[in-house]
C-alpha cells in the first residue's frame, strides 16, 4: 500500500500532462466584445463576426462567420465568440430594440437603432468597410470594446 500514493501522484501528473497537451493542441480561442452606450434595456444586442469583406456589414445571416445575441444589463452587453481560429476579422453590433433582426431607419435613411463596428470605426455617409474595421486575431483570447452610436431618436 505504500506505493499507492506514489501511483496516484503519477496518475494525476499524467492526467495533467494529457489535459494540458490537449489545451495546447487547440489553437482556437475566443473573441469577447463588450458593448457600451446602450440607451435602454429594450430588445437585444446582436453581434456578427465576419472573416471577409463579402457581405460586410449588412448580410449577416449569409456572410457572417458567427452570430451572437445577448440581453442588456445596466447599459452594457457582452457577445462572446468561442472557437475562433487565428485570422483577420471584423465585428458589427446592432441594438435591436424591437427584435426584428434588422436595423431600422427613419425616412431620411438615418438609423433609429444603435450600431457599432470593431475599432469604433465610423463613416459619415454609410457603413465603414471591412478593411477599416478589421483586426488581426492570434487565436488566443481577445477583448474588444465597441461603443454604440444612435443616428436618431426612437
**DSSP character at residue 1:** -
Return the pLDDT at 122. Answer: 83
Within 8 A by CB and 6+ apart from 151, the residues are 106, 110, 111, 112, 115
**39 Cα distance to chain centroid:** 20
Fold for domain 29-147?
Immunoglobulin-like (2.60.40)
Q: Model pTM greater than 0.85?
A: no
Identify the CA nearest to 145 among candidates 7, 1, 38. Answer: 38
For residues 88 and 137, is the Cβ–Cβ distance under 8 A?
A: yes
Residue ranges covered by each domain of the chain: 29-147
Q: In residues, how long is the chain?
A: 154
Percent of the chain beyond pLDDT 70?
A: 80
How high is the pLDDT of residue 83? Answer: 96
Amino acid at each position: 500500500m505504500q506505493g499507492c500514493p506514489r501511483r496516484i501522484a503519477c496518475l494525476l501528473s499524467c492526467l495533467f500532462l494529457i489535459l494540458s497537451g490537449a489545451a495546447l493542441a487547440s489553437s482556437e480561442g475566443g473573441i469577447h466584445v463588450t458593448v457600451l452606450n446602450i440607451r435602454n434595456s429594450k430588445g437585444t444586442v446582436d453581434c456578427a463576426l465576419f472573416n471577409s469583406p463579402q457581405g460586410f456589414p449588412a448580410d449577416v445571416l449569409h456572410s457572417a462567420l458567427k452570430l451572437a445575441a445577448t440581453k442588456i444589463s445596466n447599459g452594457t452587453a457582452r457577445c462572446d465568440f468561442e472557437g475562433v481560429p487565428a485570422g483577420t476579422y471584423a465585428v458589427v453590433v446592432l441594438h435591436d430594440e424591437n427584435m426584428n433582426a434588422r436595423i431600422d431607419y427613419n425616412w431620411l435613411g438615418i438609423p433609429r437603432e444603435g450600431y457599432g463596428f470593431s475599432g469604433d470605426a465610423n463613416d459619415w455617409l454609410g457603413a465603414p468597410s471591412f478593411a477599416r474595421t478589421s483586426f488581426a486575431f492570434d487565436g488566443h483570447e481577445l477583448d474588444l470594446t465597441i461603443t454604440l452610436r444612435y443616428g436618431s431618436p426612437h
